[in-house]
Structure 1
């Protein structure tokens, strides 16, 4: 369907050398977009690029610190010099910290906020400036979390950052919608990734997730593809400032 066709569009997905980011990048590529993979581990990034290239997808890679504004700007300048304009930005890069708030050092708190929240602001702002200048609109998809709305013990810094992502998304919509930019977010539930595998391997926690989630399973990275394609496509041209929770119904029950 043309509503979901991304042919001719270019998408930058931060933190996409593996996990959720890679699955979303592949989904966007399958929908016709040229994708730009991003990661700090160059070898892992190259493997991801090769995997998509083997499926005949048009793939580029960039590697920069999402908290470094100078590096962000230079990357976009370099892409522009190569004739590459970003139409779709997926702010996926992030980290987790599992530590009680009372034991969280200021430095670790700040690192989590910078990586999960400030990065979305910085990359989003620089991409938006270019989208506004081009005058053709665009899409920004921020990756939030269940913790954009609710909290659990020992992930306070992450919860604060992801709560900020939800309101940052609304602020982006409030300021940029008039320029034809749709800014929305996705809130993944408990997904099986390299980062969460230790939790999956804990029988007590795994049982809690299975019993707590109406779908009776963990999510997979591929479960995010439909939402990210929708929010990146013409099908969502009048959707702005929203967050779609992809959580198997977890937030719907008590």
Structure 2
């Protein structure tokens, strides 16, 4: 129960990976605040945790809306009195941030690319800005960002997403040093870089309607030594460790959870 007595905020908590984060934090003894735009789903998740004897709070907010985030912070502090952890789980891709092979590389949808970058970068920076001082006040605050293999390796089509996640890596390292210089070990920042996990956003890219793999799905598996996609639960161990005091001397680190994708040359 590494997260006993810790209050953890999870942005994007109603998504496929976010839901796994929420359940993992609860299983580790943490109090979880499920932050997302879909308040009905967040309330269902919170109710399930409460029925299981845990503590949870559903909070509606858009991670790109600072006013909504401030309102969310007030509600959380009024309810629990503290915030010990933040998981910046909100992010993802959009069709307008994808460059298909048949499209002209010099005719990018710049507005679409910018929207995807905003979601992934500023959707990480803004919650950190809003919740940061409350985290520092806990004396053992931990922020976990969500990176991606696309920040480390060239993955075709997903340019906007790749740019956003590369910026998240830079922000993770830069911010970890700045916070340490100002707050010592009271607050730290790390990131998890997932390999390929099936979510609602990428399922159509990687699998066909009959469940078989697309050409792109097969290419991913060929590059992954484990020869399978990850399951959301396989991110939880790294997440709980980074949120807990067991990793108190760890900051500025990006942990790959990828089945070996990042290290395999293909040969």
Shorter-chain TM-score range: over 0.9
Q: 1:183 aligns with which of 189, 193, 217?
A: 189
Unaligned runs of 5+ in 2: 100-104
Can you list the C-alpha shifts for 1:215-243, whole angstroms capped at 9, x where unaligned?
11000100100000010011110110000
User: Does residue 1:216 correspond to 2:216, yes or no?
Assistant: no
Question: Is the deviation greater in 33-42 or in 173-182?
Answer: 173-182
CA contact (8 A) 1:13 1:90 kept: yes
- 1:131-146 matches, cutoff 5 A: 131-132=135-136, 134=137, 136-146=139-149
Q: CA deviation at 1:103?
A: 4.3
Q: What is the total number of aligned residue pairs between the two structures? A: 250
Cα gap change, 1:242 to 1:122, in 2 (>3 Å): same
Asked if 1:200 corresponds to 2:207, the answer is: yes
Report the counterpart of residue 16 of structure 2 in structure 1.
19
- Cross-structure match for 1:130: 134
1:241 aligns with 2:252: yes
- Displacement of 1:51 in angstroms is 3.2
Report the counterpart of residue 76 of structure 2 in structure 1: 79
Question: Does residue 66 of the first structure (1) align with residue 63 of the second (2)?
Answer: yes
Take 2:62 and 2:138, find their aligned partners in 1: how far apart are those partners? Answer: 28
CA apart distance, 1:48: 2.2
Alignment CA distance shift 1:93-1:206 (3 Å): same
Equivalent in the alignment of 2:174: 171
- Counterparts of 2:247 and 2:158, CA distance in 1: 32
Moved more, 73-82 or 150-159: 73-82
Q: For 1:166 and 1:225, locate their aligned partners in 2 and report how far apart those are by CA, in whole Å.
A: 20
Aligned match of 2:125 in 112, 116, 121? 121
3-state SS in 2 of match to 1:50:
helix
Cα contact 1:97–1:155 (8 A) shared by 2? no
CA 1:205–1:148 in structure 2 vs 1: closer, same or farther (change >3 Å)? same
Aligned equivalent of 2:116: 112
Closer, same or farther: CA 131–45 of 1 in aligned 2, 3 Å = closer
For 1:250, what is the secondary structure of its paired residue?
Answer: coil
Q: After alignment, is 168-177 or 194-203 more displaced? A: 194-203
Give unpaired runs (5+ residues) of structure 1.
none
Superposition TM-score, scaled by structure 2 size: 0.88
Q: What TM-score do you get using the length of structure 1 for normalisation?
A: 0.92
